[in-house]
Chains A and B, each alone.
Chain A
Amino acid sequence: MEIINYGTDDINQMAALQCCWPPGTEVFHSPTE
């Protein structure tokens, strides 16, 4: 078994909360941020 991300129960610790639906339509890159 390999744990890539153990996950969390705290939504404020989760990656990238967002409000654009459906998920995955906002594709970006940010080399300078």
Chain B
Amino acid sequence: MQFSFHTIVIPDYPNPGEYLLYNTRSQAMIKINDELKELIDHFDRPDYFYLRFRYAYEIVRLHKSGILSENQEEDLARLKGHMDQIKHSVDTRSFFVTILTTYACNFKCVYCFEESSRANEKMTMACAEQTMAWMKSQIIKLSYRSLYLNFYGGEPLLNQPVLEHIATAMKSWCESRGVEFKFMIQTNGYLLTPQLIERFLPLGLKQVRVSVDGVGEDHDKNRPLRGGGGTFDVIMNNIMASCDKVPIGLSVGFDKGDTGPIERLLSYCRDKGIIRKLGRFIFSPIHAGLGRRGEKENIQNTHCDCNYEDESLVEANRKIRALMTNYGLEIKSGMSTTICPLMRENSGVTVDQQGLIYKCNSMLGHPELSVGHVKDQEYNQQHLAFVHLDVYNQCPQGCVYLPMCSGGCRFSSFLRNKNFTTPVCYKKYLDTMAPEMIKQEYQARRSKILAEVS
């Protein structure tokens, strides 16, 4: 018996002489004392017979949870089972479909990954019908119990008739079959009004996500109107008028490790009295994008690559976590399984305004990277090529982070290497951040357990 390849051991935590164990495959988290740790480190030694007997129950539990393994072969078999699930399993609880009601946008954001292949093109009612027929066939074929739509663009509110038609028709169809239906809108917020939200709520609107990059000029320099001019004041007035009606989350991009705009935005939201009314805040580094249609190798906005350098990521991540803590906001630990949707046979999809199906929003505007069309029942050859990439086979099988990273983001691989087949490794970043994130996960879970007990 030995520690699994995929178990992280944090010594002297939460107290001296204690060890916090976390398995990146099973997500098991278990605290042990120094005597049990000593036994595991010397498990096969004859003089540890007494401790093996004394801790027999604990050893069985640790083995079953994935923290321990019998030998290397068992560890690798468990890893293969995990990766096979990523590739082939279906989560029937929910089918998540992003729909582009239009590729047009009233904003001209400086980092927009769609800008290089922008077309002023809306989804037609005929395409909406095809999209709905395809979604219905998928729900029936894979027995999904819920449909969650995400209306996206371009700016989705520039084509409200299609949005309203799809939501109305799918809600009715889903309800007649006992399938849950809900939807969200991912918008720049400029056309968002309380009246619009009231119209969409009975159709199943559950949340809105608006992209905001800071306060005033911080935001306006990144996200101006297409014809020029700031957008921050209009957006925030719309959010403040609507946030009592539906959870409105903010997506915030940050650049060059500069968290100043985030600090000013949180302060602004607190002063306006909306910080606790808002939905999910998501802070993520701005990244580069593919080149123009037909020239995807000509990567755009490569200066953003600095956002993904290990030191920059660690620094920005720590600053944001400290800010969130100062404002008393809950933080996601980040110790989760990260899966590339390209490499899954069945996962959420994005349908563009022409009915082309994509597995990754960053590939929108490049038809050769689409995995099918809603007029067809089956995915295409590109889908199969993505699913069978099996990039993780190129990683060291004993890498402690492999189950939670599975070889990294395929889009990032293309940005760096102009191919989808090279692993993208974040071991250096994770060596620094993982212990901090595990400790945070421990504190969050412990608080939850204590709250449930009391």
Contacts and interface: CB of A to CB of B under 8 A. Distances in A.
Number of chain A interface residues as a range: 20 to 34
Contact of A29 (B330, B404, B442): B330
Instruction: Determine the main DSSP class of A at the interface with B.
Output: loop
Nearest to B57: A1
B424 A31 contact: no
Given A23-B404, A26-B284, A32-B247, A16 B331 contact: no
Contacts of B437: 23-24
A1 B16 CA distance: 15
A9 B78 CA distance: 8
A11 B313 contact: no
B306 interface: no
Given A18-B339, A28-B280, A7 B324 contact: no
Interface in B233-289: 247, 249, 276-285
Interface string B399-410: 000001100110
Interface stretch (B80-88, B161-169, B191-199, B224-232): B80-88
B78 to A, nearest CB: 8
From B27, B81, B317, B404, name the one whose CB has the most chain A CB atoms within 10 angstroms.
Answer: B27
Instruction: Determine the main DSSP class of B at the interface with A.
Output: mixed
Nearest to A22: B426
A21 B338 contact: yes
Interface stretch (B30-38, B117-125, B137-145, B379-387): B30-38
From A3, A10, A12, name the one whose CB has the most chain B CB atoms within 10 angstroms.
Answer: A3
A1 B32 contact: yes
Contact of A30 (B249, B284, B313, B434): B249
Given A3-B65, A4-B442, A29 B408 contact: no
From A3, A5, A29, name the one whose CB has the most chain B CB atoms within 10 angstroms.
Answer: A29
Contacts of B372: none
Given A3-B28, A17-B91, 9 more contacts: A1-B33, A1-B36, A8-B27, A11-B89, A16-B336, A17-B336, A21-B338, A21-B408, A24-B433
